[in-house]
Structure 1
Amino acid sequence: MEEKQGEVVLFGTWTSPICTRVELALKLKGIPYEYVEEDLKNKSELLLSHNPVHKKVPVLVHNGKSIAESLIILEYIEECWNTTPKLLPEDPHQRAKLRFWANYYDQKVVPIFYIIATAKGKEEIEKAIEDLSQVLKVFEEGIEKDFPGQNPFFNGDSLGYLGISIGSHGCNYKAVNEIVDVVVISEKNPKFLSWINALKNCPLMEETLPPHDKLVARFKVFLASAQA
């Protein structure tokens, strides 16, 4: 692929929620971009040249310069295209709290989803689901404490930084339920469920998330291969 100055190019893979994050932000801002689907088993030389450290997606290339890591890319988009709708509020403390909880989700919640998906045996799955419930409880309590009477997943009337960060992953929870044949997120975490379901009904989220059946089929193949 020949890159041209001034173009925005996103290297990603359709199954990845962290790539979905970047697509959501680009669409929200109305930024034209070219999407390059990567085969993660046979990564392109161009991808490796743009992300030589981690060698993974997503990578955003803007004016020939590459930016890696999804949350960093979101902030780059916000700073570079400083137009409405904005991903983050103006208040620095509010921005810091939103970044904190997005990072908490990535560090504490996301890894447990992978443990659940690859767990072997009923006891291991049940323990992982209970661990997930506990970290989500911390998330629920923290959000209510830090943002009383607010909806921090939206910035005004549009999706915001935290909504994009959490929704791109959490809105696929029913696919995970189907893949592992258990209820991964239950009424033990009612607030989280209500937040995720509200995000899932957002038109931009509906448009950008991968199709449920297609995602389930792909991950069943992936897990069968990983367990073989």
Structure 2
Amino acid sequence: MQVYHVSRRVWTSKGNEQEMAKKNFIESLKQIEEELGDKAYFGGNTFGFVDIALIPFYCWFYTYETFGNFQVEKECPKIITWAKRCMQRESVSKTLADGKEVYESVLDYKKLFLD
């Protein structure tokens, strides 16, 4: 899945490389959003495998947005609506990490390994 590789570069790169990563990440999300269309979930009205595979990216959005200086909701509002719908499910809300905690962990990781 391309979204993983380009999303990682949003927080691990700087300058022009980061701008390109941000552009590629948004393009990947737009492709995913196109597949979602106007459906509640990727499988239609049923929460399924594709939703389970993609929803963990949602807890990373705060990190991507903070490092990349953009808003996913502005670029891909249907993805955010879908993610919020998924978060209403107890199985998702109780297992998905908090976005700000993910960001703090990424900061710690960067200090140790990347900076």
TM over 0.5: yes
Q: Would you say 1:130 and 2:23 are equivalent positions?
A: yes
Asked whether the 8 Å contact 2:63–2:103 carries over to 1, the reply is yes
In 2, are the aligned partners of 1:153 and 1:164 still within 8 Å (CA)? no
Question: How far 1:181 sits from its partner (Å)?
Answer: 5.9
SS in 2 for 1:209: coil
CA distance in structure 2 between the aligned counterparts of 1:200 and 1:152, rounded to whole angstroms? 15
Q: Which residue does 1:173 correspond to in 2?
A: 61
Q: Distance in 2 between matches of 1:117 and 1:129?
A: 9
State the identity as a percent: 17
Alignment of 1:66-145 (within 5 A): 107-121=1-15, 123-144=16-37
In the TM superposition, what is the alpha-carbon distance from 1:201 to its structure 2 partner? 3.2
Residues in 1 aligned to 2:17 and 2:81: alpha-carbon distance in whole angstroms: 27
Residues 37-76 of structure 1 deviation map (CA, whole Å, 9 limit, x = unaligned): xxxxxxxxxxxxxxxxxxxxxxxxxxxxxxxxxxxxxxxx
Q: Which residue of 2 aligns with 1:191?
A: 78
Equivalent residue for 1:227? 114
Aligned equivalents of 2:101, 2:39: Cα separation in 1: 37
Q: CA RMSD in A?
A: 2.5
Gaps of 5+ in 2: none
- Pair 1:163 & 2:56 matched: no
Between Structure 1 and Structure 2, the one with more strand by share is: 1
Stretches of structure 1 that go unaligned for 5 or more consecutive residues are 1-106
Tell me the number of residue pairs that the alignment of Structure 1 and Structure 2 aligns: 115
Instruction: Give the match's secondary structure for 2:112.
Output: helix
Q: CA deviation at 1:113?
A: 1.0
The alpha carbon displacement at 1:193 in A equals 2.1
Q: Matches of 1:201 and 1:172 in 2, distance apart?
A: 18
Distance 2:71 2:4 in 1: 12
Partner Cα separation in structure 1 for residue 44 and residue 93 of structure 2: 15
Q: Deviations over 1:57-116 (max 9, x none)?
A: xxxxxxxxxxxxxxxxxxxxxxxxxxxxxxxxxxxxxxxxxxxxxxxxxx1111111111
Structure number having the greater helix percentage: 2
**Structure of higher RCO (CA pairs closer than 8 Å, 6+ residues apart):** 2
